[in-house]
Amino acid sequence: MVVDAELVPAQPVGGAVEAYDPAAAAVLAALEQGTDEHIEAVRPRKTKISYARD
């Protein structure tokens, strides 16, 4: 696998980190949603029932 990425420049101590651009934020949101759906799909039924009781 080849990954093409840029490093984030070092931030000054105590400085705020730049927010993601809208395209990156949309990709991250889609990945987060996909992850949540995958975890829900592979979680055993007994675990889901147990979590619902808590």
Is this model's pTM higher than 0.75 or not? no
Provide the pLDDT for residue 14: 63
7 vs 14, higher pLDDT: 7
**Structural domain range at position 28:** 22-53
Residue 11 pLDDT exceeds 80: no
Residue 1 pLDDT exceeds 70: no
Distance of alpha carbon 36 from alpha carbon 20, whole angstroms: 21
Provide the pLDDT for residue 25: 85
Question: Looking at the 3D structure of the chain, how many domains does it have?
Answer: 1
The average pLDDT across 5-14 equals 68
Distance of alpha carbon 42 from alpha carbon 34, whole angstroms: 12
The average pLDDT across 24-34 equals 90
Residue 44 lies in a domain: yes
Residue 48 lies in a domain: yes
Residue 48, both tokens? 């889901």
47 half-sphere exposure, CB direction, 13 A CA radius? 6
